[in-house]
Structure 1
Amino acid sequence: MRLNEWQLAFEAFLLEDATTSPPALSTSLIGGPTLDVDTGLAIYHNAYKARLLEVLRNDFPAIHHWMGDEEFDGLASAYIRRYPSTHYSLRWLGRGFEAFIREYLMPEQSAPLSELAALEWAFTLAFDALPGVPLTIEAMAALSAQEWPALQLKPTPSVQWLEQRFNSLAVWRSVKEATDFPDSSALQDPQVCLVWRNDLLCNYRSLEPAEANALNGLFNEGWNFAELCAELAVIYGEGAPLQAVTWLKQWVHDGLLERLER
């Protein structure tokens, strides 16, 4: 058996549910004085699956806490069987977990769980994102009066925008802070939650509807500062520019924004 053939056979064995190795693989190996070939291969097989489950437990601790060891491991094992790891880094193992939950479970189960999975994965994405070039208070102060109306902004690479219909943030926070675990419940109104990294720390914050609409306009509608003020005038009247500057200062302080250069 050539090396690449042996590697493919070993990979196929690790991905199978059965721990019994195929003859072509086992006969290509030599056992030791205290460990025979089949036992050694079974150890590798079990260790590989255990490592994958450990990664998913660490990436989705709130779901693991919610479901418990047995149910979570059953769900995670089904996910690994359906979508085996294809990347050299286990960092990406959980990227399809949210979609798999929606595909695998009944809607009444999958809706809150998949939303929680999206929230937990957002922290992973935010932590590993490129730093970008966040706008600073000093750079804002250096803008001329002529530059402000046309000023356009975009999110820094780490910003994750989540629309939530359940109390997923409260569920996640209870596990993070080791407080009483709340029952899952639907929110009276959908809510936007931001997750991002600033100064090597991941942050999160829920947005009130007016602030969420303003950020959505900047991020997705291409509003410049003058257009932002015009939209806010519908709600805040003459106080719109002050509200825009207040929010802008907070967003810059939080490290949410980069200047969009045309």
Structure 2
Amino acid sequence: MSDATIDAFQKLASGVYLEGLAVDHDRDIVWYSDVIAGGIHGVKPDGTPLASFNPDRMWTGGVLVNTDGKLLSSGQGGILWNDPETGRSGWLIEKIDGHPINGINEMVPDGRGGIFFGTNDIEMVIAAGEPRPTEIYRLTAELELVRLADGIGFSNGIMFDQDRARLYCNDTFRCTWAFDVDADLRLANQRCLLEKADVDGMALDANGNLWVTGFRSSHVTRLAPEGTRLADFSTPAGSVTQLRFGGADMRDVYVNSVPSDGGDTLKEGGEMTTRDSFLFKGRSETPGMKFAPPRFALG
């Protein structure tokens, strides 16, 4: 039997197309985004709804919690921050090389107070056109921007394993990339770990194994650090866009589920209005890897 078996799922929330997902361990809140209906929304682990932010902002693909509890959200225009306590907000980054940012997708802490992130071509997503290649960047805690890789077809889920000095990034319609990370947090030795045409979100468990979601897949693909395929992780009906671990023992599993044809509907410019995308909570026998949050000095 797989050690990734879920005993049961609890439905916590719904939306049109749920994507970004973050667990606020200090407040015991789960934050998620809806890329079509807009906004970031918070719920308790039992599904009790809490605050919502940015109701008119679509295409938020990633959510992170800063060390001071403020939320970082990616998307069109860059990375926005929101303070759940005061309601204040502002931009962490909105330009690259002096130009307005087209889009940013997923983010992950770099272990030194900053983040790694991948860009995406939201302009072409909205136009249902062929997305242009994207890049991977590092934003230091001091707000220095460093370009690390380019030529990524469509950057998506991204994870950093500090112990193994390895960065992983999903290239949505192509594969899961792995990079070695040097002492200066530069990338080298790019290689493909998983060829799959719907790689979406990503998480790491405590053993360094990758959990890769797919917008056409009702299971999570699990890979050992070097790419060996492990037993799949079954999820509720539909497809899964993102996954995060939480709880005191890091064995709670939160997944965003979408209709099985939802990702292709978005890709082809189709309209989505039905609230049949869900945030689920389950359990895993394998705990997740917990990350130190970024330490940006926000206003």
TM-score range, shorter chain: under 0.3
| TM superposition score normalised by structure 1 | 0.25
| TM superposition score normalised by structure 2 | 0.23
More helix by share: 1
Q: Which has the larger radius of gyration?
A: 1
